[in-house]
Structure 1
Amino acid sequence: MSAPATGTQTTRPTLRTSIRFSADGRFAAGLAGCDGRMWVELWSFDGSSAQWRALPSDAGETLRTQPVPTLDGRVLVLRPGPGGHRLTLLQHTGGAVEERLLGTVATRGARLLASPDPGLLGWLVTAGDSMSVWRIEAGGDPTVAEALRSSERFGGGTWLDRAGRLLSVSRRVGGRAVPAVLDLATGDLVPDPALPGSTAGEVVLASTDSGLRVLVSRAGAELTLAGPDLTVRRIPGLGGEVRPLAFAPGGRRVALHAAVGARSEVVVYDVDTDRVSRLHLPEGVVRGQAGWTAAGLRFPFSAPTLPTGMALVEENGGWAFNGSERVGVEAHTEWLDGAGGPVEAVVHGGAGWWRRPRVVIALHGGPQAHWDLGHQPFLQRLAATGAGVLAPNQRGSTGYGRAHRDVLNGCWGVPDLADVLRIADEVARRRAALGLAPPALFGTSYGAYLALLAAGLRPQLWSGCLAVAPFLSGPHLHREALPPTRALLERLDALREPPDEIGARDLARVFAARPPSGLPLFLVHGRRDEVIPVGQSRELREVLLRAGWTEGRDLFCHEVPLGGHSPLDDGTAEAALVDAAAGFLTGTP
């Protein structure tokens, strides 16, 4: 078993996200948060031991902050803002956190890359009218210099060599992604010479030791492996949705994460034997990227009562976990009857959850997402009041195969709504037999839209509905959203009107056509939400007021001034609002 880890911060984070590893796996950096605050956190690894340190900044952090560790244990931080993306360097010196501004880049999009070259702190890729790659020099006075500019657009960014010269990127050729190599010394962008000319997809992981690459197609098909001494090989099917985590030292083994329903599995594929071996993990989920050194495989891990920390699986199979302690209520999974077949749900509240004084049915965002057995702070807050919390993965959720996931394409709010109403009918029937109140409904993002649809069409089925970052409909959102969200709506065919008796799944139409039912509605939206603009909630509020809802009686609307897309989870909502939202659903003050 590994040596115990040590931490230098007195507050244990309840949120850890955006964790990335240095090129050599000796450091990791990410965002951590607790009690309405968020900061950059640095992890350092020495053999089997781990240490973590908070690097708070006066600037404050949001979920859009990009932290990337350097090879010497500092952290590059990229923060978007109205004047451009600000690039700073954080380090801990003499008991204090020192922050140095390296520059501001005016661009629409930017991403940081860790550098495998110890002579550089990192790289910055920016996208505007053209693509630019910026070199971030190390030394006593770090500088940022543009290394090249390209009129051709490309995505991705995976290192192919230790010198930090060759970068694997993806180009769009004939409507499909094709892997290419960008030479940062010459500016040449050419097809990857280690891959057959017909290869499609994006290189998402590469080994600088062996030259092997792992590719994935845009459609999320099975992963393929290729390299200088290996023809393209399909990695054996693992079940669930698979993504690569890290190559082992030497580059002949690769760790893969498979999301199988609400659980995570980690397997190791051996290139030389063409075999897969499964690692033995506690029940929970892998959160984000991984690093693999001689000490073993490290990755962020979370379980229902374990906020995200760092896991280590040693070469001998030993397991260690550092960075968080057990809190909250245990959860389990159950299979329920949906309208189209069995639906798995994550449940807080024990085997008799439907007998609890209050029950909340929680709907995830996405729509291509799912509830899992990781730590869910807001659901834990609800369960801590004694409520039962049922979080179903209705049709449209990921982790259950392509047919389950893609059934929503072209019919948002049809099969998933049918599943939710079927499940809610059964829950309400059980509770009515015990003389208990109907379930409450909670949803965020797409789940907020789906929750309000269910509340508007079947108000008698619910005791209340809390919607965080809702939108009115696919077409309404498409007119107001930024390009990335519009592209998602188009890809998932969310602008089509379903050809059934309900018709358009438009919340403005649904609520305008029905008088107030007495069902209380609680809307929360971050003013800085770049996924679903706050104007969607403002327009919905006006619809509800015109239809007869009364603010302060059966309608409660709250905007979070600094809030992004997930204000109840990202630390931007005041504690009083989070408490009020939880109390609204559970009937507790």
Structure 2
Amino acid sequence: MTATMTARPGLWPLLTTLRSRLSFRFSGTGHAAASLVADGRGFLHGEFWDLGGAAPECRVVPGLRYDSDTDPGRLPDDAVPFDDGGVLLIGRDGLWVVSPEGRRWSAGRLPTRPVVVAPAPDGSPSVFFVVREGTSGQCSGWQWTRTGSHAPVRRLGELPPLLARGGGWLDPHGDSYLVNVHDGGRTVPTVYDLRSGEYTALRADPAGDDTGWSVAPRTGEVLLVSAGTDGEGHRLRLYEPGGPTRELLAPRSLSGVVTPVAMHPGGGLVALHVVDQTSRSLVALDTATDDVRPMRAPEPCVLGAGAWCDGPSGAARFWSLSIGSGLPARMVAHDPDGWFEVHDGTPAGTYASWAPSEARRMPGAAGDIEAIVCGHQDWRSARQVVVCLHGGPADRWALKFSQLFQVLADEGVTVIAPNPRGSVGYGEAFHRPIAGAWAGPDLDDVLALARHVRRARGAPVALYGASYGGFLALLAAGVAPDLCSRVVAVAPFLSGDRLYPEASTRVRAMIDRLGGRTLVVDDAGPRDVLAQLPRITAPLVVLHGERDATVPVSQSQRLVRELRRLGRRPGTDFHYVEIAGAGHAPLDGSAELHQAVARFLAHGEWSAPTPPAATDCAEPARGGRTATTTGGR
């Protein structure tokens, strides 16, 4: 059934104000933060968070805005904030200063992308960089400081091969910086003097193998992460200038994987992130008393980058970007009075009725797997359940805000987005089974989940997949047609082997690395979409961007030709939309396509981009693009 789309006006205008943060960084004091953000209208701009006062706020960086037609080589990759409201942009075309008033000028360029970016510890407009030079791992130190003469970044001197993680300022003036040096198979925390260009080991311990993880610039304290012995895992130790290095025992009482997030610049406090299976928590480690106390974040809340600072009253305050709650990212802070939030001021950021998301354990073929569940209704009683399959295959769904999931939820759909075997983020043993077995163990997990949902609900599920997920969704619909009510495949391919001759060098390298040309064949049949097409009985929608450089549109065109050869009726059994000018993510920015997909998955009605679909006709689908809606080619 085909219906003309009637887009709901309420949700999409909110979604177009949503900011996707492409970078995020705190100033040296933690009193400011900056990020590069893309909005739903196709613009990239800067965002500045003033966190030092009694009324923290977020504002747009003046003079920093790019549209979708900007040459990618001119777009910045990172923004470094300073406490006075200015930022330093880092990009392929060099370093650019944006003053608090919006004036802009060049600060020169670095030879390569920096592996260390350290704003000055006092919040002033100065940054220390470490870049890698050549192929031997050698590095060099660079520094930029804002002056009246607009002096460019300058080279300080050479450094030995370094770890890119850890380190920090050892003094409040920004004269010495801790780096982690590779030395004969071990890691040596090393002091780099920016004034002289010399470097010396932090402490004389020829047998040590520590990583300097965090530093307190006011006191010079260093949190060391040391490899444990006898399988006891990593240990945390504290280096204090002039005193002994002592082990911190309290973190051993924590169950799960413990990762230091940030150290207070005055020492004494370290925020620790604890992950225990599917639970995540934050605790504060008091290094003076060697004690831990929980910092129970408001639910739902999963924290990203963090920084300590002194609050307006002088008490310690911890700031973090909440990125993993299934809600738009927002700043959250913890001080002696508890937690509070600061929104970005956009309608999307302040909206309180988004569909909630959570991570759940659900049945797979060989044990439980993790899935993200998003919707206004419990999946057992929701009007419709859609199983959404991620791309990759070396990818995963995370507990982050999803525009697509919110549009689906607005249509009464509850999303179950599983991470089957082969997904990343669960260890090598979980990821390894996909190598040489595309649509093997991961398809088994998807089918096991679909059977579980069908048993609980008494109805089949709808399937949605993009890229590798589209490949997997089509195979699932063929292998187990009784489990599937309808399918949307976005930019699917037919098999790894069929994709290989048409793929780019980058995609071919990925296929080779993951053994994607090996065809799995078992009782369910070959994992080739063309071989499974005769068994697919569910209505089907295929969307593909005309300029897709990852999965060429020829893959979907061949799929459609085979559907027609099998006697499938375009406009009834299947719908094919080819979006002119679009790449590998053709839904991005399109209200019409998002709503059409949501209505089809919720009700089985294909709502064509306006005006209504007609065979082999070009119609507007999104700004600057057209959609060719047809039954085949």
TM range (shorter): 0.7 to 0.9
TM-score relative to the length of structure 1: 0.76
Deviates more, 1:543-552 or 1:241-250: 543-552
2:147 alignment partner in structure 1:
139
Q: Which moved more, 1:249-258 or 1:392-401?
A: 392-401
Q: Is the Cα contact below 8 Å between 2:168 and 2:178 reproduced in 1?
A: yes
Residues 102, 16 of structure 1: alpha-carbon distance in 2 compared, 3 angstrom cutoff:
same
Look up the SS of the partner of 1:541 in the other structure: helix
Shift of the 226–384 alpha-carbon distance from structure 1 to 2, 3 Å rule, reads: same
Check the 8 A contact 1:107/1:128 in 2, yes or no. Answer: yes
1:524 and 1:147 map into 2 onto residues whose CA distance is 50
Q: Which of 52, 56, 60 matches 1:54?
A: 60
Name the SS of the counterpart of 2:338 in structure 1: coil
What are the superposed Cα offsets for residues 101-129 of structure 1, whole Å, 9 maximum, x if unpaired? 33455646766432326665223444453
Q: Is the 8 A contact 1:497 1:504 kept in 2?
A: no
CA pair 274-151 structure 1, distance change in 2 beyond 3 A: closer
Partner residue of 2:46? 40
Alignment of 1:157-196 (within 5 A): 158-162=167-171, 163-170=173-180, 180-188=190-198, 192-193=202-203
Pairing partner for 1:534 from 523, 539, 549? 549
Q: Does 1:27 align with 2:15?
A: no
In structure 1, distance between residues paired with 2:433 and 2:185 = 23
User: SS at the partner of 1:31?
Assistant: strand
Whether 1:464 aligns to 2:487 is yes
Shift of 1:424: 1.0
Cα gap change, 1:311/1:119 in structure 2, threshold over 3 Å: closer, same or farther? closer
How far residue 583 of structure 1 moved from its aligned partner, in angstroms, is 4.3
What is the CA–CA distance in structure 1 between the aligned matches of 2:146 and 2:525, rounded to whole Å? 54
| Contact in 2 for aligned 1:518/1:554 (Cα 8 Å) | no
Contact 1:126–1:133 (CA under 8 A) maintained in structure 2 = yes
Query: How many Å separate the matches in 1 of 2:410 and 2:246?
Result: 53
Work out whether 1:349 is the aligned partner of 2:375: yes
1:312 and 2:321 matched: no
Unaligned runs of 5+ in 1: 1-10, 528-532
Structure 1's 427 and 575: CA in aligned 2 closer, same or farther, altered over 3 A? Answer: same
Q: Which sections of structure 2, spanning at least 5 residues, go unmatched?
A: 1-15, 312-316, 608-633
**Structure 2 vs 1, CA of residues 51 and 319 (structure 1 numbering), >3 Å: closer, same or farther?**
closer
Asked if the contact 2:494/2:559 (under 8 Å) is kept, the reply is no
Superposed CA deviations along residues 228-276 of structure 1, whole A, max 9, x for unmatched, are: 4324657426445443221124322211223445553111122233332
Deviation at residue 440 of structure 1 after TM alignment: 2.7
Give the 5 Å matches for 1:359-508.
359-364=385-390, 371=397, 373-395=399-421, 413-430=439-456, 433=458, 438-443=460-465, 447=469, 450-451=472-473, 454-455=476-477, 457-458=479-480, 461-462=483-484, 463-467=486-490, 473=496, 480=504, 494-495=514-515, 501-502=521-522
Aligned pair in 2 of structure 1 residues 268, 152: CA closer, same or farther (>3 Å)? closer
Indicate the percent of aligned positions where both proteins have the same amino acid: 28
Q: Cα 1:412–1:539, aligned 2, differ >3 Å: closer, same or farther?
A: same
Match of 1:72, SS state, is: coil
- Determine which of 82, 99, 102 is the counterpart of 1:91: 99
Cα distance, 1:503 vs structure 2? 11
- Secondary structure of 1:236 counterpart: helix
1:189-338 matches, within 5 Å, as: 192-193=202-203, 197-199=207-209, 202-208=211-217, 209-215=219-225, 222=234, 224-228=236-240, 229-231=244-246, 235-236=251-252, 238-260=254-276, 263-295=279-311, 296-302=317-323, 306-323=327-344, 324-325=349-350, 326-332=352-358, 334-338=360-364
- Shift in Å, 1:460: 5.5
CA deviation vs aligned residue, 1:332-373 (integer Å, no higher than 9, x gap): 554432212233433233554244343211234676765455
Q: CA deviation at 1:25?
A: 0.5
Give me the whole-angstrom Cα distance separating, in 2, the residues matched to 1:456 and 1:146.
Answer: 60
Structure 1 residues 239 and 161 mapped into 2: Cα distance closer, same or farther (>3 Å)?
same
Secondary structure, counterpart of 1:353 in structure 2: coil
* 311-320 vs 533-542, which moves further: 533-542
> In the comparison of the two structures, how many residue pairs are matched?
550
Which of 505, 509, 522 is 2:542 aligned to?
Answer: 522
Instruction: Encode CA deviations 1:148-207: one digit per residue, 9 max, x unaligned.
Output: 35684653363232343444445556677665555444545665537664416x544332
Residue 226 of structure 1 deviates from its aligned partner by 4.3
Given that 2:494 and 2:530 are in contact with CA atoms closer than 8 Å, whether structure 1 keeps it comes out as: no
**Matched letter for residue 256 of structure 1:** L
2:618 alignment partner in structure 1: none
Residues 546 and 177 from structure 1, CA distance in 2 versus in 1: closer, same or farther, beyond 3 angstroms?
Answer: farther
Q: Quote the Cα distance in structure 2 between the aligned partners of 1:282 and 1:132.
A: 42
Q: Spell out, residue by residue over 1:36-73, the C-alpha distance to the aligned partner (whole angstroms, 9 max, x if none).
A: 34321000123443111012634348897212212432
- The aligned amino acid for 1:78 is I
Larger mean Cα displacement after TM superposition, 248-257 or 457-466: 457-466
Please give the alpha-carbon distance, in whole angstroms, between the structure 2 residues aligned to 1:124 and 1:300.
24
Matched residues in 1 for 2:475 and 2:186: separation? 36
- The one-letter code sitting in structure 2 at the alignment partner of 1:230 is T
Query: How far apart are the structure 1 equivalents of 2:197 and 2:576?
Result: 57
Distance in 1 between the 2:184 and 2:479 partners?
A: 44
Displacement, 1:383?
Answer: 0.6
Of 148, 157, 163, the residue aligned with 1:148 is 157
Once residues 372 and 68 of structure 1 are traced to their aligned partners in structure 2, the CA distance between those partners, rounded to angstroms, is: 26
Q: In 2, distance between residues paired with 1:257 and 1:448?
A: 35
Contact 1:260 1:400 in 2 (8 A): no
Number of the residue aligned with 1:116: 121
Q: Please report how far the alpha carbon of residue 393 of structure 1 lies from its aligned counterpart in structure 2 after TM superposition.
A: 3.9
The structural deviation recorded for 1:451 is 4.3
> CA–CA distance in 2 between the matches of 1:237 and 1:403?
27
Letter in 2 for 1:425: R
How large is the RMSD of aligned CA atoms in angstroms? 4.5
2:529 partner SS:
helix
Letter in 2 for 1:286: V
User: For the structure 1 residues 284 and 318, does the alpha-carbon distance in structure 2 shift closer, same or farther, using more than 3 Å as the test?
Assistant: closer
**8 Å contact from structure 2 (residues 388, 418) kept in 1:** yes
Q: Which one of the candidate residues 105, 108, 131 is aligned to 1:100?
A: 105
For residue 26 of structure 1, report the CA deviation from its aligned partner: 0.6
- Relative to structure 1, the CA distance from residue 116 to residue 400 in structure 2 (aligned partners, 3 Å threshold; closer, same or farther) is same
Report if aligned partners of 2:303, 2:324 keep a CA contact under 8 Å in 1.
no
**1:144 shift after superposition:** 1.9
Q: 1:178 to 1:23 in 2, by over 3 A?
A: same
Instruction: Name the CA distance, whole Å, in 2 between partners of 1:456 and 1:367.
Output: 19
Give secondary structure in 2 for the equivalent of 1:383.
helix
The residue matched to 1:419 in structure 2 has which SS? helix
Deviations 1:520-546 (A, max 9, x none): 35355697xxxxx82334464365356
From the superposition, tell whether residues 225 and 122 of structure 1 become closer, same or farther in structure 2 (CA, over 3 Å).
same
Structure 1 window deviating more from structure 2 (64-73 vs 463-472): it is: 463-472
* Alpha carbons 1:261, 1:400 under 8 Å: kept: no
SS for the counterpart of 1:49 is coil
Q: Which residue of 2 aligns with 1:7?
A: none
